[in-house]
Amino acid sequence: MDVTVRPMRDDDVDAAQQVQEVAFRELDQRLGEPVTPVSPESVERQRRRHRHFIAHDPAGSWVATSGDEIVGSALALRRDSMWGLSLLVVHPDHQSRGIGRQLLDASLSYADGVGTAIILSSSDARAMRRYARAGFALFPQMMATGAVDRTTLPAADRRVRVGSVADAELADSVDRQVRGAARGPDHGILNDFTTMYVAEDAADRGYAYIRNGHVVSVAATDEELATRLLWQCLADEGQGSVEQHTISHVTGEQQWAIDVAVAARLSLKPWGPVFWRGRTPPRCYLPDGAYL
Ligand SMILES: CC(C)(COP(=O)(O)OP(=O)(O)OC[C@H]1O[C@@H](n2cnc3c(N)ncnc32)[C@H](O)[C@@H]1OP(=O)(O)O)[C@@H](O)C(=O)NCCC(=O)NCCS
């Protein structure tokens, strides 16, 4: 059946979220990875993610349809002069028929004229092939995971405090310096689902987001502050129920993050790569899978 790629609408969100869930479950199984658990909270978080993109990045939000069925989707954002791919999925029953390529091409039309672009890739060979062919450079990434050895945690740091959406301006100034683009509206939704930490030391600034042991993002103008923030994330126990911490999206540029991970006795393993166009990975930046 013919496939059409068109802008995503609000009434596509539930079906698009289901395709995302099925595609990543099949990918985890295919790669022999533990399947990411699904909960009512994670489903709602993904639906809100889709709606956030439709509201703020309509030109980066696409679906592929076959008849009445949604068979794939892509979400991309554009902040200042940076473009980022948040999601690219095709339902397993429809993969390897060129749909992913069409969706990526549509979302890349939203990158016209930007200076830099980032894609956090899965290990799916088709995804990596398309990103490389679209002119992106590949940087291998590691993930660190496990139970933090709490005896390794440094003493509480007075330069780090809990943040809130009121710190968005500070965080935006960090991001402009570190990655050349502010997050703008993404701080609102990130604060709804995570704990934010902010660090300030003389002229240096940084911030981090953490959710249930998962380090969502870290950005700082200075490596020592980035390190402090990452330690604070590992000290964070959520509602007291966190057994595992995860630091994703670490490249060779972020040795400071590798140092923290191994000091805390987390295990390192290879992970899908990050692709950049227009620059190399910023040193004091761990990007977020959803909002980059
Ligand atoms: C990755 C994904 C979106 C690709 O979509 P798709 O419709 O299956 O892929 P396409 O048919 O467009 O193929 C993409 C490229 O991979 C190539 N390809 C197809 N099968 C392949 C295989 N087994 N190995 C390597 N390359 C392959 C295609 O030839 C095509 O390259 P070309 O356009 O240069 O010829 C889709 O497979 C998917 O949802 N995977 C699981 C979720 C995921 O990993 N998403 C990416 C997140 S970053």
Interatomic CA distance for residues 265 and 37, integer angstroms = 24
Which is more confident, 13 or 240?
13
Give the tens place of pLDDT for each residue, 61-77. 999 999 999 999 999 99
pLDDT value for 173? 97
From 114, 134, 158, give the residue that closes a domain.
114
The number of distinct structural domains making up the chain is 2
If you average pLDDT over residues 82-102, what whole number do you get?
Answer: 98
pLDDT value for 162? 97
Interatomic CA distance for residues 90 and 101, integer angstroms = 10
Q: Is 121 in the pocket of ligand 1 (CB under 6 A)?
A: yes
Question: Is residue 1's pLDDT more than 80?
Answer: no
Interatomic CA distance for residues 193 and 290, integer angstroms = 12
Which residue's alpha carbon is at the smallest distance from atom 18 of ligand 1? 126
Position 161 in a domain: yes
Position 229 in a domain: yes
Q: Are residues 168 and 244 in the same domain?
A: yes
Q: Are residues 170 and 263 in the same domain?
A: yes
Specify the range with the lowest mean pLDDT, choosing from 28-37, 87-96, 109-118.
28-37
pLDDT value for 156? 87
Give the tens place of pLDDT for each residue, 145-172. 999 999 999 998 889 999 999 999 999 9
Distance 125 CA to ligand 1 centre (A): 6
If you average pLDDT over residues 28-48, what whole number do you get?
Answer: 93
Collapsing DSSP to helix, strand or coil, 246 comes out as strand
Q: Are residues 203 and 268 in the same domain?
A: yes
Q: How confident is the model at residue 238 (pLDDT cuts 50, 70, 90)?
A: confident
From 62, 97, 114, give the residue that closes a domain.
114
Residue 110, token pair as written in the block? 């939203």
Q: Are residues 10 and 84 in the same domain?
A: yes
Position 288 in a domain: no
A 10 A CB-CB count for 39 gives 8
Distance 262 CA to ligand 1 centre (A): 34
Distance 39 CA to ligand 1 centre (A): 27
The number of the ligand 1 atom at minimal distance from the alpha carbon of 102 is: 12
Distance 127 CA to ligand 1 centre (A): 5
Which residue's alpha carbon is at the smallest distance from atom 26 of ligand 1? 126
Position 233 in a domain: yes
Residue 95, token pair as written in the block? 């993969």
Render the burial of 218-248: b for 16+ CB within 10 Å, e for the rest. bbbbbbebbbbbbbbbbbbeeeeebeebbbb
Q: Are residues 76 and 177 in the same domain?
A: no
Interatomic CA distance for residues 74 and 16, integer angstroms = 9
Closest CA to 282 of 259, 255, 261, 253: 253
Per DSSP bridges, beta strands 82-90 and 214-220 are unpaired
Q: Are residues 110 and 157 in the same domain?
A: no
Which residue's alpha carbon is at the smallest distance from atom 1 of ligand 1? 127
Interatomic CA distance for residues 98 and 217, integer angstroms = 32
CATH number at residue 89: 3.40.630.30
Distance 24 CA to ligand 1 centre (A): 13
Distance 102 CA to ligand 1 centre (A): 11
Position 182 in a domain: yes
Mutate to test the pocket of ligand 1, among 126, 129, 131 (most ligand atoms within 8 A of CB): 126
Collapsing DSSP to helix, strand or coil, 74 comes out as strand
Q: Are residues 96 and 149 in the same domain?
A: no
Q: Are residues 71 and 160 in the same domain?
A: no
Position 121 in a domain: no
Report angle CA 155, 158, 161 to the nearest 5 degrees: 110
Q: Is 122 in the pocket of ligand 1 (CB under 6 A)?
A: yes
Q: Is 118 in the pocket of ligand 1 (CB under 6 A)?
A: no
CATH number at residue 170: 3.40.630.90
Q: Are residues 40 and 108 in the same domain?
A: yes
Q: Are residues 160 and 258 in the same domain?
A: yes
* Amino acid in position 41: E
Q: Is 30 in the pocket of ligand 1 (CB under 6 A)?
A: no
Interatomic CA distance for residues 105 and 91, integer angstroms = 18
Q: pTM, whole model, 2 decimals?
A: 0.96
Q: Are residues 77 and 190 in the same domain?
A: no
Q: Are residues 101 and 148 in the same domain?
A: no
**What is the domain extent for residue 12?**
3-114
Residue 219, token pair as written in the block? 């950005």
Distance 240 CA to ligand 1 centre (A): 40
Q: Is there a contact between 146 and 266 (Cβ–Cβ < 8 Å)?
A: yes
Position 66 in a domain: yes
The number of the ligand 1 atom at minimal distance from the alpha carbon of 124 is: 44
Position 211 in a domain: yes
